Structure 1
Amino acid sequence: MPVDIAAFAIAQPVVVKGDIAANVARHVVLAEAAARHGARLVLLPELALTGYEPALAAGLALDADDPRLAPLRHAAMRLGIVLVTGAPWKTSGLPRIAALSFLPGGTMQVYTKQHLHPGEEAAFAVGEGGAGLVAGDARIALAVCAEIAHAQHPAAAALAGADLYAASVLVSENGYEHDAGLLRGYARQYGMPVAMANHGGPTGGWSCAGRSALWDETGQPVIAADGVGECLLLAERERGRWRGWHAGIGG
């Protein structure tokens, strides 16, 4: 039986193309709202700091010393949360698609996408994955978009004892039913809750579906966004029972 999970948040932003400073500022607003509701983890979509912009990725790529990341590091420390977002990550060649996890102690973990979507190899290098996270007593396994289409990825997360499979994605209207069906199936197959953070507005020429969601360990929906637009979903499991709600944001 997975451990009970303290309240966590799925944030669905509307990203400003290429404007890292503006997106960081909005991340902080969303994180503050989530923390007010007791969240220990805040999950955002793939490439949420820049938008999904392969043609711009090399110029937008970040590294650990980039001062634009400082507000996220400080927010995680100040609020006592784990904040997971996405950006292109600098390497010696093409950038990698990364999930950046800002931890309450002031450090950052970098997870890089291991399975690229067809066509992404022109702008991004294949990543190496990375360590799981701990939020409270819960073990969190990260996934980035196309990784969810590779069945060995959630299988490895379940084998490692993940209490939550946390997927940061860009899912279009046309692809939503298929990808949501995969995630719902993994939850049911592995008895492992699955969270999906999607974009709330268009990015990179894609009409994103929104509808970020959480499925419980039986594959039943706990909470989901109604559609597109910025929103914040909160969920927690206490004594084996899930509760989900839409949270106000402000700011």
Structure 2
Amino acid sequence: MKIAAAQINPIKGDILKNIEKHKIIIKEAATENVDMIIFPELSITGYEPELAEKLSIDYEDQVLDVFQKMADGHTMSIVIGMPTKSGDQLLISSIIFEPGKKRGVYSKRHLFPTEINIFSSGESFCQLELLQNKISLAICYDLSDPAHSQEAYHTRATIYTASVLNSVNGIDDDIIKLSSIAEKFHMHVLMANFVGESGGYECAGKSSIWSKTGSLLGQLNGEDEGILILDTDNDRIEKIHIN
């Protein structure tokens, strides 16, 4: 199986322009026969908590229909980031598009302290099955609670993915945490991060993939948009720069 981390420079609050950016990256991933691609936290809007209420949508909103069409057309599972509304709750969500299936949603369960007064916590764990792999989804601060990755292990995950906004000041700590998760639980681990600026943070890039022993298999740089692809059958890595 080929699974990819997408690294993008988001356009603050511009849903339509960010969708176009996603489409370019997905089309490029399709040329490499990627089976699944993971985008960073809140990738469709950028990480902009003060705008999240205004920008939020129901996860089934038709503005995102293009991703189901691309999932079907490319036989690729696609995970994007979006603020969503469920009743009176505002959530940080990963919206999941799988070929030939109804779209799904996973909402961040463990909020960063600055998010608690804005967002609600999600309630459900999320694991996908694809080509004999079990893929558990995490959103940023989820990975800081050991119970989250432990649950992935207990449900026999083979891949743990983290959609994040990670700043230049926070990236090193999370790289250590994710490497430790891979080593402890014998899972491939993938992190998709932003470059550029979002939410007042200088984003660190360095989207990364670790082996089941915790060794770093590949990492993008801290400046450029791109795709990092893992072939789980042989631990081979491909890096694609997006102009």
- TM-score w.r.t. structure 2 length? 0.96
Residue 178 of structure 2 aligns to which amino acid in structure 1? L
**1:91 shift after superposition:** 1.9
Alignment of 1:72-151 (within 5 A): 72-151=67-146
Could you tell me how far apart the structure 2 residues matched to 1:199 and 1:248 are? 14
Residue 120 of structure 1 aligns to which amino acid in structure 2? E
Partner in structure 2 of residue 184 of structure 1: 179
RMSD: 1.2
Instruction: For residues 55-107 of structure 1, give each alpha carbon's deviation from its aligned partner in whole angstroms, at most 9, with x where no partner exists.
Output: 11111111134221011111111111110111111122241000111111142
Alignment of 1:12-31 (within 5 A): 12-31=7-26
Report percent identity of matched pairs: 34
**1:183 shift after superposition:** 0.3
Could you tell me how far apart the structure 2 residues matched to 1:110 and 1:184 are? 26
Partner in structure 1 of residue 164 of structure 2: 169
CA contact (8 A) 1:50 1:87 kept: yes
Which structure 1 residue ranges, 4+ long, deviate > 3 Å from structure 2? none
Q: Choose the corresponding residue for 2:238, options 212, 225, 245.
A: 245
CA contact (8 A) 2:57 2:83 kept: yes
Residue 78 of structure 1 aligns to which amino acid in structure 2? G
Residue 238 of structure 2 aligns to which amino acid in structure 1? W
Could you tell me how far apart the structure 2 residues matched to 1:99 and 1:55 are? 19
- TM-score w.r.t. structure 1 length? 0.93
SS in 1 for 2:27: helix
**1:229 shift after superposition:** 2.1
Partner in structure 2 of residue 216 of structure 1: 211
Residue 61 of structure 1 aligns to which amino acid in structure 2? S
Could you tell me how far apart the structure 2 residues matched to 1:215 and 1:101 are? 23
Residue 54 of structure 1 aligns to which amino acid in structure 2? P
Could you tell me how far apart the structure 2 residues matched to 1:8 and 1:108 are? 19
- Sort the Cα spacing of 1:176 and 1:228 in 2 relative to 1 into closer, same or farther, 3 A: same
Could you tell me how far apart the structure 2 residues matched to 1:12 and 1:37 are? 16
CA contact (8 A) 2:224 2:241 kept: no
Residue 222 of structure 1 aligns to which amino acid in structure 2? L
Partner in structure 2 of residue 3 of structure 1: none
Aligned pairs, number:
243
**1:12 shift after superposition:** 0.3
Instruction: For residues 93-124 of structure 1, give each alpha carbon's deviation from its aligned partner in whole angstroms, at most 9, with x where no partner exists.
Output: 24100011111114211001110000201211
Partner in structure 1 of residue 229 of structure 2: 234
**1:136 shift after superposition:** 2.1
Residue 97 of structure 2 aligns to which amino acid in structure 1? F
Could you tell me how far apart the structure 2 residues matched to 1:178 and 1:64 are? 31
**1:225 shift after superposition:** 0.3
Q: Of Structure 1 and Structure 2, which has the larger fraction of its residues in strand?
A: 2
Residue 115 of structure 1 aligns to which amino acid in structure 2? H
Could you tell me how far apart the structure 2 residues matched to 1:224 and 1:147 are? 21
Residue 152 of structure 1 aligns to which amino acid in structure 2? A
Could you tell me how far apart the structure 1 residues matched to 2:202 and 2:103 are? 31
SS in 2 for 1:122: coil
The answer on 1:44 being equivalent to 2:39 is: yes
- Sort the Cα spacing of 1:130 and 1:190 in 2 relative to 1 into closer, same or farther, 3 A: closer
Partner in structure 2 of residue 63 of structure 1: 58
SS in 1 for 2:197: coil
